Amino acid sequence: MSKQALQYLSENREQLLEKLKTFLSIPSVSTDSVHKQDIKAAADYLEKYLNDIGFDKVEQQDTGGHPLIFAEYSQAGSDAPTALFYGHYDVQPVDPIDQWKSDPFQPEIRDGRLYARGSSDDKGQVFMHLAVFEAYMNSEGKLPINLKVCIEGEEEIGSENLYTVLHDKKEQFDADFAVISDSGMVAENQPTILYGLKGFTGIEINVNGPDHDLHSGMYGGAVRNPIMALNHILTSMKNEDEVVTVDGFYDGVEPLSENERKLIKNVQGENYEESTGVKETVSEKGYTAKEHTMGRPTFEINGMYGGYQGEGTKTIIPSTATAKITCRLVPGQDPETIQELLEKHIHQAAPSGVTVDVKKEKLSAKAYKVEPDNPLIKKAAESYTKAFGKETVYVRMGGSIPVVEWIEDIYNIPIVLLGFGTPDDRLHSPNESFPLDSFDKGMETLVHYWADIKK
Amino acid sequence: MSKQALQYLSENREQLLEKLKTFLSIPSVSTDSVHKQDIKAAADYLEKYLNDIGFDKVEQQDTGGHPLIFAEYSQAGSDAPTALFYGHYDVQPVDPIDQWKSDPFQPEIRDGRLYARGSSDDKGQVFMHLAVFEAYMNSEGKLPINLKVCIEGEEEIGSENLYTVLHDKKEQFDADFAVISDSGMVAENQPTILYGLKGFTGIEINVNGPDHDLHSGMYGGAVRNPIMALNHILTSMKNEDEVVTVDGFYDGVEPLSENERKLIKNVQGENYEESTGVKETVSEKGYTAKEHTMGRPTFEINGMYGGYQGEGTKTIIPSTATAKITCRLVPGQDPETIQELLEKHIHQAAPSGVTVDVKKEKLSAKAYKVEPDNPLIKKAAESYTKAFGKETVYVRMGGSIPVVEWIEDIYNIPIVLLGFGTPDDRLHSPNESFPLDSFDKGMETLVHYWADIKK
């Protein structure tokens, strides 16, 4: 049944591209209050689009911040599953504007790419879904499945009100599974399933010694140096094999299966030496760098400071020293439990002569993972392959996406991350763009996916 | 032969005090060019004083910076030793001026203390020497020993030109031993011989990882964290027993003798917990805090920094991390050798995946120590006891005094540090003062000392 929809996309390509350009030309920058009317205009655009193509129920919801678009289609019948589609219509600021080769809000096609702020993140990817809905509705008169649409306008400012909406309107937004297209492929034209995200937690350690900075000649030899004490504590937490040596840290972490190791090996992935300038990669003993970044928890000191930081020398024993630490977590690790384990370890490891405070960061998230052989995932991989003519690779990512954690937390449903971005899209930077080829193949993928899910 | 001189000091106390007040009322602040004329006035004052009391040769030497006063007295005969007396006539700035209870350059006596900038550091102590020379000359017509006087005007700005003068005019300034009164006693009225100073050296360690800060989710697990690498390096350099674990660091360091341990134990010393706010002192295994600060080398991280230092969390792997380290050295340790040992250790201890640069600080100094049973020291202790009526204590100090290192380096003669300051003098701070009682007893000590040395 996908033939007619594909034909519609092909026949209407130019009009659809014009529609996308119109959507991208609205400067819906969410951080800046001067764009408040533009944000509203983008929301209005979506509301009208969804009404025009025949969704049953379209709402512009007041979140307290920027409006959220909700829409529902339920005519696929009770035997068809219901998908929750999430995306966002707000975009990053455009500074530094003088580095753009064309106006960020006057979309321009150059060398097969569409240049505009939001072309990849996320208005372009949202539009691909809308266009596919339109194709089905206008060619076949219906969608293969039931749908709920949730498009927010605050993603680039931390999705401030989304959790409340998802939590308070659970019945309205509930679905059998969720689909999100706000991520990318490991390489252009390389279909990529993102089937796991890491969780996250953080602490700050403050080591306090003398009540003021001391003369190192007068007091060196009598007083514990807080920076050195902090060094001893931190060194006891991760060894040179990049293994975290905090008791219980790996409890509940499942080892990487042979299948996962194979999936990870199949990913071409980044040349870390080239992209970061390091001479060699370093990863947890027994795991490759790709395995560690994708599938194993990490412990990183994000910042550390104490004492004199100016030019030359100041011969003091500093009064305090501070380290900021975050961990990326995998399934089986609870952020709060990890914080407690870290805190306990730190107090046990602290040398005499100093006092140590541990501050637990409030921001934390659990890891997310869907099994790669889940039928919803396998069908996504097959749809990709049909459209791109290439085997799909499976990746897990070290980052966190709050909305994924929240949908998992509140709805407990599988989440399919169908990303179409490419590594060259320059998200958040000047000259953001998206390949027209990915636009076509991405829409084709979605047409196949909705049809295949129905089967 | 000291009786007449003592009588002179007693009979002329008021006039001498008035002369001191005149000297202290000259605002000879060396840092500030608005005081250039005052600096000259203070130098003129000294030149005239030394001429008036009958020194053979008095010179105001041009150093390129502020003038240096040289004077010589050689009539004690060739069988009498020659002492080089060093002091400085410049003073620290007076800011914050509003915290002074009386004008810093209008000396005022309150509760037995003379309040004025420079009353203790070092014009007051220099003046005590001048008054004693005057007492000898005016009462007995001669000094018991031969003398060379060196009073500089740049001590508070790092003695910029002194090394050159001492080095280039070696023959003119050469003596059998040196006497310096620019330090203090461990407590008021507690005669104190400072018989050792520590040396000093420093390095800066820079650890470089990726060429820019990285997203900890994308790269955590693939790249060595430079802060953690630096922690591993530093932890390998000093253990929790406060023992430096760098190969060769203690080579050539003589153990503290039983006699020295006894001398150190006899010093009442500071209550470190009270003055620094630490709960407990921590010192090198096998040594007390007093022993370590006075007589054992130290290794301190003066500052360390890398990555994010703002509020909250920034999930990066930083590109670099830096630590600033200084060591206080004891006799037997060569600053440059120590720098090389540290550098070698650091490169060996550096984990893979980072590059490490070690920058050697140029400023460094050798330790100084004179044996406590040197007759010049024993006689100083006896002179103190005669004047103060109390046993003298012997201390070594963690700090460095550049002029001591230079006299040792160029002249290789014993240096007697005859300090009269007290812990409450507030050097470099508002309301600097000096006890009149110490003024009297200090001069008495000097009268005895010159007479005893002659014997």
Tell me the pLDDT tens digit for each residue of B75-106.
999 999 999 999 999 999 998 899 999 999 99
The residues, ordered by sequence, that sit 6+ positions from B18 with a Cβ below 8 Å of its Cβ are none
Q: What's the total number of domains in chain A?
A: 2
From chain B, pick out residues whose CB is under 8 angstroms from the CB of A212: 276-277
CATH code of the domain in which B168 resides: 3.40.630.10
CB contact under 8 A, B302 and A313: yes
Write the secondary structure of B131-173 as one string of H (helix), E (strand) and C (coil): HHHHHHHHHHCCCCCEEEEEEECCHHHCCCCHHHHHHHCHHHH
Min mean pLDDT across A59-68, A400-409, B14-23, B221-230 is at A400-409
Do residues A306 and A430 share a domain?
no
Once rounded to an integer, what is the mean pLDDT over residues B222-243? 98
pLDDT digit string, tens, across residues B49-82? 999 999 999 999 999 999 999 999 999 999 999 9
B276 belongs to a structural domain: no
CB contact under 8 A, A278 and B210: yes
Structure tokens at B158: 């790092």
Q: How far apart are CA B330 and CA A199, in angstroms?
A: 52
| pLDDT band at residue A263 using 50, 70 and 90 as cut-offs | very high
| Boundary residue ending a domain (B309, B330, B360) | B360
Q: Categorize the per-residue pLDDT at B270 as very low, low, confident or very high, splitting at 50, 70 and 90.
A: confident
Task: Please judge whether A328 and B272 are an interchain contact, meaning their C-beta atoms are less than 8 angstroms apart.
Answer: no
**Pair B191, B212 in one domain:** no
User: What is the nearest CA distance from B215 to chain A, expressed in angstroms?
Assistant: 8
Residues of B in contact with A296 (CB under 8 A): 221
A190, pLDDT greater than 70: yes
Contacts of A351 in chain B (CB under 8 A): 240, 282
Would B214 be classed as within a structural domain? yes
Residue A306 buriedness (CB in 10 A; 0-12 / 13-18 / 19+): buried
A282 → closest Cβ in B224, B238, B312: B224
**B360 touches A: beta carbon within 8 Å:** no
Count of A-B CB contacts under 8 Å = 280
- Closest partner CB to B210 (pick from A216, A276, A307): A276
Mean pLDDT, rounded, of chain A: 95
Contact A328 B220 (CB under 8 A): yes
Q: How far is CA B315 from CA A292, A324, A361, B195, in A?
A: 17, 9, 12, 52
Are A335 and A206 in a shared domain? yes
| Half-sphere exposure for B152 (CA within 13 Å, toward CB) | 20
A-chain residues near B427 (CB < 8 A): none
Whether residue B409 is found in the same domain as residue B326: no
The complex scores an ipTM of 0.87
CB-nearest partner of A228 from B224, B234, B308: B234
Answer whether residue B50 is part of any domain.
Answer: yes
Q: Of B299, B309, B276, nearest to A322 (Cα)?
A: B309
Residue B264, both tokens? 């150190």
Q: How confident is the model at residue B399 (pLDDT cuts 50, 70, 90)?
A: confident
Establish if A283 belongs to a structural domain: no
What was the pLDDT predicted at A209?
Answer: 97
**Is the Cβ–Cβ distance between A207 and A356 less than 8 Å?**
yes
**Phi, psi torsion values for B52, nearest 5 degrees:** -60, -40
Residue range B372-391, pLDDT digits in tens: 999 999 999 999 999 999 99
Tokens representing A366 are 């659990």
What average pLDDT does range A375-400 have in this prediction?
94
Mean pLDDT, range B346-365, rounded to an integer: 94
> B228 vs A238: CB contact, 8 Å cut-off?
yes
**Chain centre distance of CA A91:** 15
| Option in A209, A231, A352 nearest B235 (CB) | A231
Instruction: Return the ∠ at Cα B191 (arms to B187 and B193), rounded to 5°.
Output: 105
Do residues B243 and B218 both lie within one domain?
A: yes
User: Hey, what's the torsion of the CAs at B172, B176, B182, B185, to 10 degrees?
Assistant: 180
Q: What is the pLDDT of residues B145-181, one digit of tens each?
A: 999 999 999 999 889 899 999 999 999 999 999 999 9
Give the rounded distance of the alpha carbon of B337 from its chain centre.
23
Identify whether residues A79 and A225 lie together within a single domain.
no
pLDDT value at position B311? 85
Asked if B283 and A222 come within 8 Å (Cβ–Cβ), the reply is yes
Contact call for B279 and A398, based on CB within 8 A: no
Residue B1's pLDDT band (cuts 50, 70, 90): low
Q: Is A238 on the interface with B (CB under 8 A)?
A: yes
Q: Where are the alpha helices (DSSP H) in A110-256?
A: 123-140, 162-168, 170-173, 216-219, 226-235
Peptide bond into A435 cis (omega under 30): no
Interface test with A, best of B208, B223, B362 (most A CBs within 10 A): B223
| pLDDT value for A109 | 98
Contact call for B361 and A280, based on CB within 8 A: no
Given a cut of 70, whether residue A1 has pLDDT beyond it is no
Q: Contact A315/B323, CB-based, under 8 Å? A: no
- The average pLDDT across A263-292 equals 93
**Dihedral, B237, B339, B258, B423 alpha carbons, nearest 10:** -100
Q: Give the residue from chain A lying closest to B286, CA to CA.
A: A221
pLDDT tens profile A160-181:
899 999 999 999 999 999 999 9
Mean pLDDT of A93-114: 95
Given an 8 Å threshold on Cβ–Cβ distance, is B313 in contact with A224?
no
Strand partners of residue A451: none
Residues A50 and A104 in one domain: yes
A219 reaches B (C-beta below 8 A): yes
pLDDT band (50, 70, 90) for residue B313 = confident
By percentage, how much of chain A surpasses pLDDT 90?
Answer: 89
Last residue of some domain: A360, A392, A407?
A360
Give me the mean pLDDT over the A57-79 stretch. 96
Task: Pick the residue of B214, B276, B339, B368 with the most A CBs within 10 A to test the interface with A by mutation.
Answer: B276
For A350-428, where are the alpha helices, taking DSSP H only?
A: 375-388, 402-411
Please identify which residue in the block is written with the tokens 């007697």.
B416
B277, part of any domain: no
Nearest CB among B304, B312, B398 relative to A307 is that of: B304
Asked if residue B33 belongs to a domain, the reply is: yes
> Best of B208, B302, B401 to disrupt the A interface by mutation (most A CBs within 10 Å)?
B302
Looking at the complex, report in whole angstroms how far the Cα of residue B101 sits from the nearest Cα belonging to chain A: 25
Mean pLDDT of B417-438: 94
User: Under an 8 A CB cutoff, do A282 and B351 touch?
Assistant: yes
pTM recorded for the entire structure:
0.87
Say whether both B107 and B203 belong to one domain.
no
Find, among A436, A446, A451, the residue nearest to A108 by Cα: A436
The CATH number covering residue A215 comes to: 3.30.70.360
Distance between A193 CA and the closest CA of chain B, angstroms: 16
Q: Are A204 and A193 found together in one domain?
A: no
For A331-386, how does the pLDDT look when each residue is reduced to its tens digit (9 = 90+)? Answer: 999 999 999 999 999 999 999 999 999 999 887 889 999 999 999 999 999 999 99
CB atoms within 10 A of CB B336: 11
Whether residue B280 is contained in a domain is answered as no
Chain A closest-CA separation from residue B427 CA (Å): 14
Residues A123, A188 within the same domain: yes
Q: What value does the mean pLDDT take over residues B432-449?
A: 97
List the 323-342 stretch of A: residues with Cβ below 8 A of B: 323-324, 326, 328
Contact map slice: B 264-283 vs A, CB within 8 A: 272, 276-283
Nearest beta carbon to residue B363 from set A313, A322, A353: A313
Q: Which residues does chain A have within 8 Å of residue B361's beta carbon, measured at their own beta carbons?
A: 312-313
Residue B284 lies in a domain: no
Domain range for A132 = 2-197+367-454
Q: How many CA atoms lie within 13 A of B363 on its CB side?
A: 16
Indicate if A75 and A219 belong to the same structural domain: no
Q: Which domain-ending residue is among A329, A360, A391?
A: A360
Q: State whether A349 and A218 are in the same domain.
A: yes
pLDDT of residue A278 exceeding 60: yes
d(CA B223, CA B353): 7
